[in-house]
């Protein structure tokens, strides 16, 4: 049984005991404002508890002692911003993550997709691309890949480069094979990769119909109309107002009867668009736009 990696850091990582929480909040606000003004990355509406833990992780790693100290370094050193971006954008992912999701997608979404002449999918916040390759495998096995176009986006250019390369850690193949089988995979998972370049190199045919591109859910707008939008394990890092903004973006980017897939800890409940969707599958967080 594969261990599910939790995206959250242990609560123990944080400010030194004597740090004044009000001052900490002030400094975090100033730092995030500075990052936005200097680099255009807008983390101002990300969930505070998660952001502060990640800032402290970077402060520790750099041998600093205060958030203001980190601010000074970040604003003057783009390389530091790149390192911090990796911390803040939390790229934990896996192939066939939550296998039940892929099984339900096969059983309850694929039959509708079969009726379309052409299928447009958007993976928003795709990280290093494991879920994109997983979806490509699924569509291939269902005979739909040839008429699909997958747009795979993330805020972080570094992870997108890894996604494009399609080389994943060989030591995770055992876990991914188990996920693939539990997800209803129809072949041998090893058919899709070869051992090369010190990792598992996935077949380039899986990205034939994939466009990888940088897109920021906070500041960028809709760029097409989709039949399926997958945004899993991204919205948990956003506060309510930012979640609402992103739901508006998804609603405006989905065709009527299009499918929205969220992560296991996310939902449409209490979003302004709750009534615009019906549930296809509750536990797997799959919804259909109906109005
Ligand atoms: C935990 S990963 C989820 C990866 C994958 N969707 C999954 O479920 O396994 C979250 C991803 O969201 C991306 N992300 C965070 N903020 C974003 C934003 N504003 N716009 C686009 N992507 C963002 C991060 O860079 C990261 O790669």
Q: Give me the residue spans of the domains in the chain.
A: 22-89, 99-166+205-289
Average pLDDT over every residue of 177-198: 97
Considering only CA atoms, which residue is closest to atom 27 of ligand 1? 127
Question: Which superfamily does CATH assign the domain made up of 99-166+205-289 to?
Answer: Vaccinia Virus protein VP39 (3.40.50.150)
User: Per the structure block, which two tokens stand in for 251?
Assistant: 């609603």
| 126-165 pLDDT, tens digit each | 999 999 999 999 999 999 999 999 999 999 999 999 999 9
Quick check: CB of 95 below 6 Å from ligand 1? no
- 49 CA distance to ligand 1 middle (Å): 17
Range from 2-16, 109-123, 150-164 carrying the lowest mean pLDDT? 2-16
Q: How far, rounded to the nearest angstrom, does the alpha carbon of residue 188 sit from its chain's CA centroid?
A: 26
Write down the residue that tokens 């952001």 correspond to. 51
The pLDDT assigned to 18 comes to: 82
pLDDT mean over 29-52 = 94
Q: What are phi and psi of 82, to 5 degrees?
A: -60, -40
pLDDT tens readout for residues 16-29: 778 899 999 999 99
Pocket test for ligand 1, best of 54, 86, 89, 151 (most atoms within 8 A of CB): 89
Query: What is the pTM for the complete model shown?
Result: 0.89
C-alpha 30 to ligand 1 mean position (Å): 23
State if residue 125 touches ligand 1 by the CB under 6 angstroms criterion.
Answer: yes
Sheet of 148-154: strand order equals: 210-214, 148-154, 119-124, 226-231, 254-262, 286-289, 277-281
Tokens of 164: 């494009």
| Cβ of 229 below 6 Å from ligand 1 | no
Residue of the nearest CA to atom 25 in ligand 1? 89
């Amino acid at each position: 049984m594969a261990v599910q990696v939790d995206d959250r850091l242990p609560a123990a990582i944080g400010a030194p005991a004597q740090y004044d929480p009000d001052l900490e909040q002030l400094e975090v606000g100033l730092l995030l404002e500075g990052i936005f003004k200097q680099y255009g990355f807008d983390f101002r509406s990300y969930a505070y508890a998660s952001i502060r833990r990640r800032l402290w992780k970077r402060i520790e790693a750099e041998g600093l002692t205060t958030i203001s100290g980190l601010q000074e370094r970040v604003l003057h050193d783009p390389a530091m911003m790149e390192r911090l971006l990796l911390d803040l954008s939390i790229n934990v992912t896996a192939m066939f993550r939550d296998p039940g999701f892929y099984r339900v997608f096969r059983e309850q979404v694929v039959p509708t997709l079969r009726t379309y002449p052409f299928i447009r999918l958007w993976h928003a916040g795709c990280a290093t691309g494991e879920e994109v390759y997983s979806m490509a495998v699924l569509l291939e096995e269902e005979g739909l890949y040839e008429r699909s176009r997958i747009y795979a986006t993330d805020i972080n250019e570094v992870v997108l480069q890894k996604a494009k390369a399609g080389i994943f850690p060989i030591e995770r193949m055992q876990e991914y094979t188990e996920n693939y089988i539990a997800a209803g995979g129809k072949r041998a998972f090893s058919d899709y990769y070869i051992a090369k370049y010190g990792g598992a190199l996935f077949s380039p045919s899986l990205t034939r119909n994939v466009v990888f591109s940088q897109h920021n859910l906070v500041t960028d707008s809709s760029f097409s109309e989709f039949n399926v939008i997958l945004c899993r394990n991204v919205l948990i890092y956003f506060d309510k107002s930012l979640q609402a903004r992103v739901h508006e973006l998804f609603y405006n980017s989905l065709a009527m009867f299009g499918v929205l897939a969220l992560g296991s800890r996310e939902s449409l409940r209490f979003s302004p668009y709750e009534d615009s969707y019906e549930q296809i599958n509750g536990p797997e967080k799959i919804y259909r736009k109906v109005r």
